[in-house]
Amino acid sequence: MTVEKKFIRENIKLSDVETFLGKEFARAGYSHVDISRTPVSTRVTVWAQKPGMVIGRGGKTIDALTETLKTKFGMENPALEVNEVENPDLDARIVAEQIVGGIERGLNYKRVVQMTIQRVMHAGAVGVAIRISGKVGGEMSRTEKFNAGYLKYAGDPAEKLDKAYARAEVKLGTIGIQVRILKDEPKEIIAAKKITKAASEALIAKQEAAAKAAAEAAKKEEPPEEPLPDAPLTEEQLETMKSEESKEDGSNNA
């Protein structure tokens, strides 16, 4: 078998395993699987939102899965490991399946998508785009797109997008869902934020310096304070002063 054929065969097997695990553990919030070969075994790492449902009570589910990978997919000595997805709202596969669940339950697709976008952006995504195709809201098929944040469809940032596809089965037919999530900020966005922050700090510093200089200039231009004139004495005060003077004169004469 040539290298090309072997490569194609391995990728077909990986795709079949992905499809099988996606159907088997849809309720567990299945995300993806990583398969790597070692000299001793085939290491299979399953990522899911609820790893306990993948493992099963007493490990029964994972034991049955190991046997299925051996018999159905021809894996040699598979060693299974189950990991939990840290942030499900940033996982395109889990998000797509959540939209499928909402649509299949009969919820309004626009409301489901808008709530999903809000949740994804709140989780810290840079940008998200969701496309729905099929008979949504009527007998005629159409495609609707929803997006939020910053997203690129070409270049290096586009290659880092987390992409996923899912299908919702409803009475009118099949509805396709495509989800794209950009988790990390591209270099140009980081650079633009740094430039904006530096410009903002420079502007604030300039305004503070101008305000301080204006205050000092206004202080120099203020005239010196003049002493207040003495208030005129009242008649009672004059009478008191006269009586005190007369007493002093009487005491002196004595």
Q: Is the pLDDT of residue 112 over 90?
A: yes
Looking at residue 160, its pLDDT comes to: 76
Indicate the pLDDT class of residue 95, thresholds 50, 70 and 90: very high
Nearest to 48 by CA among 23, 31, 27, 24: 31
Exposure string for 90-129, b = 16+ CB within 10 A, e = fewer: bbbbbbbbbbbebbeeeeebeebbeebbebbbebebbbbb
Q: DSSP labels for 194-207?
A: HHHHHHHHHHHHHH
| 155, β-bridge pairs | none
Architecture of domain 3-85: 2-Layer Sandwich (3.30)
Contacts (Cβ under 8 Å, ≥6 apart) of 219: none
Is the pLDDT at 65 greater than 70, yes or no? yes
- Indicate the pLDDT class of residue 208, thresholds 50, 70 and 90: confident
- Judge whether residue 56 has pLDDT over 90: no
Distance between terminal CA atoms of the chain? 144
Contact 125, 149 (CB under 8 A): yes
Backbone torsions φ then ψ of 183, nearest 5 degrees: -90, -40
Distance in angstroms (rounded) separating the CA atoms of residues 244 and 229: 25
Domains 3-85 and 90-187 share a fold: no
pTM over the 0.75 mark: no
At 250, the pLDDT band (50, 70, 90 cuts) reads: low
Residue 119 amino acid letter: R
Q: pLDDT at position 220, please?
A: 73
| Structure tokens, 244 | 């005190």
Every domain of the chain and the residues it spans: 3-85, 90-187
Tell me what pLDDT residue 91 has.
92
pLDDT tens digits, residue range 21-51? 888 888 888 888 888 888 888 888 888 988 8
Please give the pLDDT value at position 99.
93
Q: If you write DSSP's letter for every residue of 132-182 in order, what string do you get? A: EEES-SSSS-EEEEEEEE---SSSHHHHT-EEEEEEEEETTEEEEEEEEEE
Tokens 């934020």 — which residue?
Answer: 193
Q: Indicate the pLDDT class of residue 12, thresholds 50, 70 and 90.
A: confident
Q: How confident is the model at residue 241 (pLDDT cuts 50, 70, 90)?
A: confident
The H or E element spanning position 127 is: strand 127-134
* pLDDT(228) > 60: no
CATH topology of domain 90-187: Ribosomal protein S3 C-terminal domain (3.30.1140)
Buried/exposed 213-244: b ≥16 CB within 10 Å, e otherwise: eeeeeeeeeeeeeeeeeeeeeeeeeeeeeeee
Neighbours of 135 (CB within 10 A): 15
Of residues 235 and 25, more confidence is placed in: 25
Q: What is the pLDDT of residues 143-180, one digit of tens each?
A: 999 999 888 777 666 667 889 999 999 888 899 999 99
